[in-house]
Amino acid sequence: QTVVTQEPSFSVSPGGTVTLTCGLSSGSVSTSHYPSWYQQTPGQSPRTLIYSTNTRSSGVPDRFSGSILGNKAALTITGAQADDESDYYCMLCMDSGISVFGGGTRLTVL
């Protein structure tokens, strides 16, 4: 069974830079997995940040960026702000046609 891995938690200082990663329990993540990233605050619907590895969704500020780093997908937030404190999820598309979310990373800004 495919498992998508994310750091359970991360912290960043206001104004700092943080990189969250998204990996596979077996194998490497590539652009053919069309990595996407989502932000969710409690009680709200998720918000799409990045799709197809590095394309920002409409209205997403350019301090959010996506990439492939080594064998993982990555979401980098530069100039972190207090309202970036959220849960972040990645999703990968598998060759079989199914998609799988990672377990999510809780980001704290302090």
Partner 1 sequence: EKQLAESGGGLVEPGGSLRLSCAVSGFIFTNAWLHWVRQAPGKGLEWVGRIKSRAGGETTDYAAPVKGRFIISRDDSKTTVFLQMNSLKIEDTAVYYCSVDSGHSVAWWGQGTLVTVSS
Residues forming contacts to partner 1 in the complex (CB under 8 A) are 1, 34, 36, 38, 40, 45-48, 51-52, 55, 57, 87, 89, 91, 93, 96-104
Shorter beta-carbon distance to partner 1: residue 16 or 27: 27
Contact partners, residue 88, CB within 8 Å, separation at least 6: 6, 20, 37, 38, 39, 40, 49, 75, 104, 105, 107
**Considering the complex, what minimum distance in angstroms separates the CB of residue 15 from partner 1?**
28
CA pair distance 43, 36, nearest whole angstrom:
21
Shorter beta-carbon distance to partner 1: residue 13 or 31: 31
**Considering the complex, what minimum distance in angstroms separates the CB of residue 92 from partner 1?**
9
**Considering the complex, what minimum distance in angstroms separates the CB of residue 91 from partner 1?**
7
End-to-end Cα, the chain, rounded Å: 36
The two three-digit tokens of residue 19, written as one number: 């990189």
Shorter beta-carbon distance to partner 1: residue 38 or 64: 38
**Considering the complex, what minimum distance in angstroms separates the CB of residue 47 from partner 1?**
7
CA pair distance 18, 12, nearest whole angstrom:
6
